[in-house]
Structures are given as structure tokens and as C-alpha cells.
Structure 1
Amino acid sequence: MIAKTLAAAAFALVVGLSVPAAAQTAAAPQDTLVMQLKDGNVTIRLRPDLAPRHAERLTTLAGEGFYDGIVFHRVIDGFMAQTGDPTGTGRGGSNLPNLPAEFSDVPFTRGVVGMARSADPNSANSQFFIMFDDAPSLNGQYTVVGEVVDGMDAVDAIKKGDRRANGVVDDPDRIISLRPAAGGQ
């Protein structure tokens, strides 16, 4: 009996070590968004413990259907995919006021969701980006609002932009829908 218990504990430890730390904790439904893309669904665990105002903003806008049909206007292979601008230009946002920065010590690694902003750190509104790879240069400079816990393969399939044009995408992919998970708002 003790051998079985030890074996189960060892298995759980090995499995736990193979999953990124950020994804090991299950998110409450109100802290989870499901984004439908052409290549599948993406589950995003929001981090209100790090960025409560930003997490609330994404949940509110997603609940209103704000993101449905919005393009990934800036996509740089090996870096990130940015969306959330209703104009598709990278200069737009929602009708809600901009948010003050909520920086943390959580690093920008593959799958992290960050809030886009202008040169003013307190200008995030509706635009967000998903990291394809690690980008330490963003650490402490942008607000981490969540991470992808399932569906990175669909994120990886988003049409990439022209690196010479700062990732601008011709005929870009769109978010089909982005909604709070069942039981959320």
C-alpha cells in the first residue's frame, strides 16, 4: 500500500513538473475566457491576482461580444500576436477609459497574455497580445493579464505578418468569438 502511494505521488510530481507552473492551477470559470479561432479554441486563464482591472476589462468586453470578428492586426513570428482593436489599425480601443498599468514580476514567456498600450504605460484599453515565445525585454514594462492554458496550437496557426512592416498582416485572421467560460459573466 505504501509503495502504491509513493508511486502515485512520484507520478503526480513528474506530471506536475512537465506542465508550466502557470497552467497548474485551475482557474475559476469567471477568470477564464474561451477564444474561438479558425484552427480551434484557446482557453485563457486570467490573472486578477496580478492585474484585477485588466482582467475585469477583458471579461467585460468579451461578455459584450466586443472581440467577435476583430482581426489579429500585428503578428510577429517568434514574438507575439496582437488583437483587440476594432479599427484593425493598432490605434483603436473600446469606449471605456484607459487603464493604469498593473505591472508584476511575472515574465513574458510563451503563452502569456499581455495588455498592449501606447508609449504611455497607463494607456491599455482593449488590445492584448499572446506570446509565441519568451520576450524578457517586455518584463515589467507591460501588464501580464493571463496565460493560455489550452489551445496554443491554434495560436501558433494565426497568420503571421511582415516583419519588415512591424508585423502588419495582409488579410489577417480574426477572432470568431471570445467569451467568458460557462459560469462566468
Structure 2
Amino acid sequence: MSINYLAHLLLDNRQGIEVGGSLHNPFCLNTINVDFTNNSTVYKEAEKKLSGGNFLNVDVVASGDKLPFENETYDFVISSHAIEHFYDPIRTIEEWLRVIKKDGYIFMIIPHKERTFDKPRNRTTLNELILRHENPDPNFVDDHGHHTVWVTEDVMELCRNRNWKVVAMLDTDDKVGNGFTIVIQKK
């Protein structure tokens, strides 16, 4: 099954949020694009190169782990290559769960350590993620880089630990080529 097919199977005819959407990697779903800035960044410059000179308009400027929406407002949150940029992915996913309705989805494409420039880095352990979540580093400065390095099994372990309901997993990435997909459904 392809990532696009799975996204449309689960998310068509629903309204959602795309965190860090990009013009060169569209899902063509009914979403609003949330990003931490509408200004030029290294990521937006790369997006412009890949898409022929433009980047996707940002509808709402906000940090993806502090969304300015009411509880249970949307049907889904979708992100491609975004969750690794958050210092506390547990907090981020909890925030995404907060804004989606019961039975809604979190659809994430996540870079796989062995398929990206993160290959030489150590995998981020579950214990480290829990520590970041429970005892955040007060001196942490966010450079919006990759704060977390995963393989598919690591994210599945996190989901089991947090009791998040995984309804789909694709370990191959036919969209960008270097990630895997995890879909969580809100209970």
C-alpha cells in the first residue's frame, strides 16, 4: 500500500492540520498548514528548490507542539518529516491528540535513521524521550534540527509505552523515500 493511498483512504472528506507542510510533498487533503514561521528558513529554501521557486503558504504561524486550536476541533493531524524536529515528541503528539476528535488520526511520516543523514547518529531511546518529557532541559535552545533519531521499531515502542492506538504502519516510504509511516487513532 502506498503512503498517498493510505492517507486518502483514512483522511479524505475530513478536515485537518498539516504541521510543516511543503509544496514539493503535497498530500492534497483538506488541511490548514501550521508552521513555526512564514519567514525564509533553510527548510523553506530547500522546499523552494524542490518545487520550482515557491514554498507552501503558512495558514497559521504557531509551534506544532503549542497549537492555537480548541480541543477536539479537527479530524486529523498529518506531518511529513516534522516530529523529529520537536525536542519533546511525547508532548507534541499529546498536543496533536488534544486537537483531534475522538476516532481522529495522527498520520506521521518519520525519517528512518538508516535511510537519512542521521545514519551515523545514535538512536534516541525511549528512556531519553521520557526524560525529555518529564524533566525538560531548561537550557535547551531549539535550532529546529533533528532532535530525535528513530527506526520504525522505536516509534512503535513509544506508542506501546504511551498506550497510543496504532492503526497503520508502513516501513517503506514511497513518497519521499527515506522514512516510515505511523498512524495513530485517538481512542
* TM bracket, shorter-chain basis: under 0.3
Per the normalisation by structure 1, the TM-score is: 0.28
Structure showing the higher helix proportion among its residues: 2
Larger CA Rg, structure 1 vs 2:
1
Per the normalisation by structure 2, the TM-score is: 0.28
